[in-house]
Amino acid sequence: MLKKTFLASLAVCGFAFTNSFAALSNDDYIEAAWMTTRFLGAQRSGQGPNWVLDGTNNTTSFLKDSYNGHDVSGGWFDCGDHVMYGQSQGFASYVLALSFAEFTTGFYDLYTGDYTDYKASNDYSRKGGKSNDVRDLLEELRYEADFWVKAAIDENNFVTVKGNGNQDHMKWVTAGAMSKLGTGDGGEPREITGNANDAYTPGMAAAMLAIMARVDPDESARAKYLKAAKTAFAYAKKHKGVTNSQGFYESSWWQNIWEDGPCLAAMELYRTTKDESYKTEAKSFYDKVDFEKNSFTRLSYSDASPITYILGEYYFNWHPQGDLAGSEVYLENMYNQPDYKDSKGIFIKDAKTAGFPTRSPSGGAFLYALYSKFSKDNSYDEVIEKNIAYLLGDNSSKKSYVVGFTRNGANAPTRPHHRGYYGNEDPGRDVNGMGDGLAKNKLLGGMIAGNFNSGSHDNNVSNWQVNEVCVDINAPLVGALGYILSKKAPVEKVASDVESEEDKKKREEEEKKKNEQEGIVAGRVLNTNAFSIVQGSSSITINSANSAPFKVHVFGLNGKLEQEFTSKGATLNVSLKNKGMQIIKVSSKSATKTFKVNNY
């Protein structure tokens, strides 16, 4: 009833599905997915390469990040500054890895992961990229996963934060230039937090790594990621809570709900390894998650429990204690209430007085996409698309919230709170003195925190409350775009794809069906009303249903007759002379049947 009411309300408002449902074309969604995915490359710390730093004097950053002698350089900056907060990174990397695993065909191969294609062509638009047979999101995920491998030092040491937020915010320069300024101005050496009482961050990192251990086409990478996932999970099990970071990320924001991190880690480790012990541990954490307490909050880095709810119900057949309503009702309570959406069904009303409001439409769209995939229910596709289209400028103000996305005349933000975008390397230059961003960086692809109260953009760079761009804001948007494209314009296969569990099951079912049509069934090479065959090690037994005499002819695949037998009764055992595939023709006066047998 909830679903019917929701869709009916959309129809009343004029948003029932029609050919003119949204102003965006498939190519518009491809453009948006390309931009928002490549944004992750603008967040790269370490050796990189980081494409927004191309052309500056300092193209690498923070190469000296270390903890107790261990190199922990690399990974993503969480927002427009250069501190690396694992609390939001862990969430973002898991959401993106889960999106890649579940909506694989919606993610394209439009550029090379080292960005040499853009550099060589001197064209940082989509047409300047070249495919390299690896889906772009996978290449971006690898960069972050390799950092988490470093961060997971052992079960007693795990890096959750790199840098000091107060020091980092002193100068408005690129990451490469800041690295050289010294500790007091956010440069090297930086503070590294490696032993916080935090179970959430290593849990989310472990969940991400566990997925990478089953989707990465490189066998050695899969082994590396699985080992690190187990280490991160071991650290999470020894700790509680979330890292507290100087007012930038307060542990209290998690409302004392942190078990969803290690729960998702155990869930994904089970999905990857099928080790029952992980399933048992996942259930233990699952039963401690207070789903009711967070049932009316938006999906964000401080609340991953809606993902836990959906995965628990549809993969493990679990329900929270005392609650059998299910994921659909859970999501309806979070997003489809009058106080949480506008008259057109966009999930923005609950966010007008909250920080970073664009999380609502993208988070809701992502969760409904995840629900739709697992439940095999496509009735929310219109809702998903409408909310994402809104963020891309399909609204009454033609206001896009993604830096550089101007399709269909949308007005995109051009003054994001992101230091690399401007390419400034002068530490004496104030944030409010920033000019326009570098021309090659205009398609940054980061979604801003946003403001739904105004139809125009705030062009104050220092106003981070509106103009901040972060990996955790982009992650659900990228995921929802992947879902939309997986339905509207999927890329079924690229050369490096790893066969998913779902695809493997589908292939095996198709092979089984084909073999049955050809008379081949594992163990019992069969089936016809008149005859059946049972295959042994180097022989076959042919049975006649009516005990009538029959003849057997054995042919090679070239059609040449190799053996011939006659039976006077119901059963005949035949020793096959040759190896390989054989064609067995069995015939009587009333029936003829041909079988294929592979003689090993």
Catalytic residue numbers read: 81, 417
Q: Using alpha carbons, list the distances in angstroms from residue 36 to 40, 42, 199, 250, 368.
A: 7, 10, 29, 27, 19
Q: Are 372 and 381 in contact (CB under 8 A)?
A: yes
| ∠ CA 33-34-40, rounded to 5° | 95
Q: Are 285 and 330 in contact (CB under 8 A)?
A: no
CA 531/CA 125 separation, integer angstroms: 64
Q: Using alpha carbons, list the distances in angstroms from residue 467 to 68, 171, 419, 474, 477.
A: 36, 18, 12, 13, 17
Q: Given strand 571-575, what is the order of strands in its sheet?
A: 531-535, 539-544, 571-575
| R_g of the chain, CA atoms, integer Å | 28
Residue 196 phi/psi, 5-degree rounding, is -70, 155
Which DSSP string do the residues of 307-352 spell out, in sequence order? HHHHHHHHHH----TT--S-HHHHHHHHHSSTTTS-TTS-TTGGGT
Q: Are 219 and 498 in contact (CB under 8 A)?
A: no
CA 570/CA 114 separation, integer angstroms: 68
For the four alpha carbons of 96, 98, 99 and 101, in that order, the dihedral sign comes to positive
CA atoms within 13 A on the CB side of 258: 24
Classified as helix, coil or strand, 42 is helix
For the four alpha carbons of 382, 449, 95 and 91, in that order, the dihedral sign comes to negative
CA 111/CA 113 separation, integer angstroms: 6
